[in-house]
Amino acid sequence: MTNQSTDDLTSRLQGLWLPLITPFRDGELDEASLRRLVQHYAAGPVDGFILAATSGEGMSLRADELERLVTVTCSELAVSGRRLPILLGLSGASTARLLDALDETATLPIDGYLIASPYYLRPSQRGLVQHFTALADRASWPIVLYNIPYRTGVSLTNETLLRLAMHPNIVGMKDCGADRAQSIELLGTRPAGFRVLTGEDALYHAALADGADGAILLSAHLETEAFAAVQTLIRQGDRQGALACWKRISVLTRLLFAEPSPAPAKYWLARGGLIDSAEVRLPMVEVSAELARLLDEEIERRSPPLLRRA
């Protein structure tokens, strides 16, 4: 870790970040589709990428696939001429194994890590402080905390977050706590430079109105410009314009999470031709026939189509 890398990520950890889905075809990483994804979103109003996190089915990826995912993404960003920052998603219940993962990924061309709380074990807040402190002490790149208690079974309290925010290698958090009161309190008490980005797609507008620095949104795979516009309008003080824009796209945040994510988003992207297959890896399954019908109706309702390959 260097102070420069921490400062660089802190300055860029705002705006609209995309937790990129990982395309698969016939059981393997679909590199052709991945290249199209990166090219497409690098040309739009996206401020950074998250790779191999929840939306990217990171826990289903082999080590060699993880490395290839990062390498291909960086290669396509270089071609695009746009150097977007990249966070690599890591998760696990064992501190020791995550320390090994940090060592194994230390030389990857990334800008930081997004690390979720340990799942299943439900450690105490004292245990969470020690866990993340050990990771931050070891990591070669800055860490963004990922608080998502409905997946991990444990929530980072604001007291714990404020303690961890003092670590020089912890620069922010993805807030999926789904507790608006806690989020507002944190935004009012966090130290300078500690970034808070919402990860709750349905609470996107509210979080920005409350003062969040940005968002990490699966839904922004669709109508990316409109999702970015909500932030721009709020920053410009046009609250009514931001709300009107949000109302137009908020239906997407319901449809894309009507069944386990990222299957609905992959279905939509495959229908639009940006990826070749809607394939997910077990235990994830593709969308049901009923949701496919609803997605098809919404795709047809939006004109012109959101995505089309030439």
- Tell me the catalytic residues: 146, 174
Tell me which amino acid residue 127 is.
Answer: G
- Please give the structure tokens belonging to residue 238: 């046009």
Q: Is 153 helix (H, G, I), strand (E, B) or coil?
A: coil
Instruction: Using the CB atoms, write b or e for 12-30: b if 16+ within 10 Å.
Output: bbbbbbbbbbbbbeeeebb
The distance in angstroms from the start CA to the end CA of the chain is: 43
In the DSSP assignment, the letter for residue 304 is S
- Please give the structure tokens belonging to residue 126: 């004292």
